[in-house]
Amino acid sequence: GKDTDVVEDQKYRDIPGDDSFMADLSDDWRVDPESHEYLKDCEEGTKGYAHCDVAIAHWVKKNNPDIEVDIIGPSDLNLRRLKKNIANFSLGFNAVNLLVVAKDPSTEKSLAALQKCGNIVPDWGYEEYILTKSNYMKACINAGVPMAPTIFSCSPDRSPEKLLSDIKERGWKSFVMKQSCSGFSLGFLKLKVEDCEKDPSILKNYFEEYASCPEYVVQETVEGFTRNWETRCFWFKGEFLYAIANMAAVSTEDGAERIISGDDIPAEFLENAKRIGAEAIKCLPNMKASNGEDISSILVRTDIGCSDGEINDKDYNWKTGEKTFFLNEIEPSSTTYFVRHLKFDCLPMYGKLYSDSIREILSKVEDSKPKAKAKGKGKAKAKAKAASKSKAKAKAKGKAKAKGKAKAKGKAAAKVKGKIMKKPANK
């Protein structure tokens, strides 16, 4: 959520990070830290702070006069609005928000707009591939990427009885329940096989409460997961950017989650996270522009866990007491960026990367448009100059070429609209 990735904050400034460019940002897009609502939805006089999705959008706007940036709030999301633009980047708000939040009359229309507009980035096919976790998880397993023992419990052919039978057949003693097409830890549950055998209603109630979820991701509990660092690697265009590592609050002395970055991350954890993450992102499909052409991938995050405890799955041979690193999850560009926890100011980096992506998409979309009319016009101009003397002809040709380039550049600048979608501040 982008109500936890604040930029206008002393911790960010101490990096040092420079948020002075945010001075002219409309207060509408700042977030009240108490209600987690945009200031435009709060009482007059409420003070708020901008988060990284809005900050990146504003950086692009301030540093790229050829790119028009408009922050689209959830209530503004519709097919007509999205269709007006070359590209609509998901930096905070995506389909997960529509699938898991309380539904309102606009939810179905908003979801349909994302599915049909054809120009969201990541594209809908890519977004759906990651939303349904079994897609990338099965691809990673087949590619030899290490992963915790996993069972996919999919509707309509699932039942509490069948799931428990499958778990027992694998030899598990405890397990966790997760969900596809979900977020914010919704539906996460840690259970013991023994308890579920004694009280069948535990799983039965879960199946009833989350009947609408198309897929449960069920994994054997990795006991070492919470006492070791989970290392999250950030990738853009397939290249490693940086990593952060966090340790769960239940494993720290003061009961607070710990987050580290840079050279504070133990080398063993960082290098294994980069190694596994690099293999995992190879299993993802190519991102597409609105014309179907492949484009360079924007931000992807790989979360790598570490096991050093007992694994009981009959098909696994992870050794107790030895560290085994594995892929826990892949997150798309709407994930948390951890801007305040880094040792460098990442906003200029992201601003430049997204600006480059906007121009790449524009170039591919413009290049795919029919050019017969433009060629005919150029031919006519050439003919008109044919009677000129050799020197004059060359001069005229050079002039026409320069004029043509300037005209094309002007047209491109007028058409570039990089739209950044904002996640609801209270989600």
pLDDT digits (tens, 9 = 90+) for 379-413: 434 333 333 334 444 444 444 443 443 333 333 33
Q: In whole angstroms, give the CA distance from residue 135 to residue 137.
A: 6
Which pLDDT band, with edges at 50, 70 and 90, does 101 fall under? low
* 268-297 mean pLDDT: 97
Which pLDDT band, with edges at 50, 70 and 90, does 278 fall under? very high
pLDDT reported for residue 415? 38
Q: What are the residues whose beta carbons fall under 8 Å from the beta carbon of 350, sequence distance 6 or more?
A: 52, 56, 59, 299, 337
* 166-184 mean pLDDT: 89
pLDDT reported for residue 77? 85
* 91-114 mean pLDDT: 76
Which pLDDT band, with edges at 50, 70 and 90, does 251 fall under? low
* 100-127 mean pLDDT: 84
Give the pTM. Answer: 0.84
Q: In whole angstroms, give the CA distance from residue 241 to residue 234.
A: 5
pLDDT at 302 over 60: yes
User: Which segment of 37-41, 240-244, 303-307 scores lowest on mean pLDDT?
Assistant: 37-41
* 165-171 mean pLDDT: 97
pLDDT at 303 over 60: yes
Question: What average pLDDT does the chain have?
Answer: 85
pLDDT reported for residue 212? 85
